[in-house]
Amino acid sequence: MKRTGAIATAAVLAGLLLSPRCHHPTPAAATVDIVPGAAVDSEQKILKELVAAFDRAESAVQKADLDVLMLFYANDYNYHGLKRRDVRRIWDEVFTHYDRVTSKHLFSQLRPVQTGEVHKVYVTCTGGLYGTDKRTGKPITIDSWAQEVHYLVQEDGTWRFLGNAGGTSPLAPPASAPHHPLF
C-alpha cells in the first residue's frame, strides 16, 4: 500500500467529522487513530491538522456560526470564480432554509505539496452536507460529492479551504452554478 493509501485508510476509519443524522446532532470532534508506521511523521501531522480544521468547520456548521465557519476559507478562496463573499452568501442561504445542518467527509487520498514557504495539500474526499428542511421538517441531502479533490493551503498556522481542484467543463455555460462550492 502506498503511503497515501495508508493515510486514506486511517482517515476513512476515523470517520472524519460526523455521520449524517436526521435528528439533532450532538456536537463532537472527530478523532483520528493513525496507524503506527503507516505514514511518515509529517503526513500524520498534516492529517491531524486537517481533521482539526474540518472539525472546527463542522462545529461552526452545526451552530450555524457564519463568522467562525468563514475562518475555514482561505483569503484567496476561488472556486470557478466564486469568492469568500459568495460562499458566505450561500452558507447564509443554507442556514436560512435548513436546520440541524451537518457534513460528512471521508478522505481517500492526501497529497501534500510545498512550494517555497507555502504549504498546500490536495485531499480527495467523498461526503455530503445534510440538514432538515425548515418548512417541511423532513431530512434532506443539501449536497453530496464523490472523489472531489479539495485544495487547502496553510494560512496563519491552520489549514484553510482554497477551493476544489480541476477545471470546469467546456460545455458548461459561464453563468451556470459550479458544483460543491462549500466543501
What is the structure's pLDDT at 41?
62
45, three cell numbers: 501531522
Could you say which architecture CATH assigns to the domain 3-164? Roll (3.10)
What is the structure's pLDDT at 20?
34
Distances (CA, A) of 74 to 8, 87, 157, 169: 24, 11, 12, 24
88, three cell numbers: 458566505
66-95 per-position pLDDT tens digit: 999 999 999 999 887 889 999 999 999 999
Q: Which amino acid is located at 16 in the chain?
A: L
148-172 per-position pLDDT tens digit: 899 999 999 999 999 887 655 555 4
Domain ranges of the chain: 3-164
Q: What's the predicted TM-score (pTM) here? A: 0.72
Beginning with the edge strand found earlier in the chain, give each strand of the sheet holding 118-133 in spatial order.
Answer: 98-115, 118-133, 139-155, 158-164
87-135 per-position pLDDT tens digit: 999 999 999 999 999 999 998 888 999 888 889 999 999 989 999 999 9
Strand bridging mode 139-155 / 118-133 = antiparallel
